[in-house]
Amino acid sequence: MEFRDWYNALRKPSWTPEPEFIGLMWQIIYPIIIVTFGFVFLQAVRGNLPRTVALVFAINLAANLVFTPIQFGLRNLPLASIDILIIWGTIIWMVMSVWTFHRWIAFAQIPYFAWVSVASVLQLSITWMNRGS
């Protein structure tokens, strides 16, 4: 079964956004991630920012990148739920760790945090609704 057919067959909350809207949100957020994460990594490599700050961004990026293979490749809803909670938690950690160095980076994470908050509730809801399937 193709991943879209599998996903469409899952029970979902009535407020689930359309796939096109989800795609649009990521089209807005990914450029923010590219610019801000790239800046953090560059500043860490140059020694202008502690590497521990960059590490938090790297953990977030890794968790973000493995979400789709977990969700749609493995089709593992519980593991995808854990992963999205890691993404959500590391965004908070990122903001706290970069705040004293570059507040604009922290503020730039607001749309990312807002969307991942919605996506987390959605993921947890889908996981719960399909727990016996």
- Contact yes or no for 119/84 (Cβ under 8 A): yes
Q: Which of 67, 103, 106, 104 is nearest to 85 (CA)?
A: 67
Residues whose CB is less than 8 angstroms from the CB of residue 36 and which lie 6 or more positions away in sequence, other chains included:
105, 108, 109
- Can you give the pLDDT at residue 1? 74
Decide if pLDDT at 133 tops 80: no
Region of residue 9 (phi > 0: left; psi between -120 and 50: alpha; otherwise: beta):
alpha
pLDDT band at 124 (very low <50, low <70, confident <90, very high): very high
What pLDDT digit, counting tens, does each position of 19-75 carry? 899 999 999 999 999 999 999 999 999 999 999 999 999 999 999 999 999 999 999
- Can you give the pLDDT at residue 51? 97
- Can you give the pLDDT at residue 11? 97
